Structure 1
Amino acid sequence: MNDSTTPPNTQCGHWIGSEQRYCRSDDTIRRYLQGCRSPMHTPRALQGLPEIPPGPGIPALREATA
């Protein structure tokens, strides 16, 4: 369902309560559990924390030791 009150997946879905509207920014959108977010409205940005820098990825697989 995509009506006029729900932002599409290519825009930030953060609700700005004081302005009674969605952010709808389309600048560097990333997907999170709560929906698409712009850099200003990521979970860590809303907590006032810096973003975690990207790491090397999945570590190399190791043999399980028992």
Structure 2
Amino acid sequence: MNSILDKIYEYKKIEVDESYKSLSINELINNVSRDSGTSRSFLGSIRNNTLAGKISLVGK
């Protein structure tokens, strides 16, 4: 039996999952790489919170 709390939990879970999927991987990687002096790019896509593709590390 689903209580109202269960429904709220499911809704929040979906909301968080959707916002995670909408993150820009290139943007996140670029922010991380600023201090390291390394240029990084991501090729691929995210499916079910799993990275499908590869991350290239290119020294400047």
Same fold, TM exceeding 0.5? no
Greater relative contact order (CA < 8 Å, ≥ 6 in sequence): 2
Judging by fraction of residues, say which structure has more strand.
2
TM (norm. structure 1) is: 0.20
Higher fraction of helix: 2
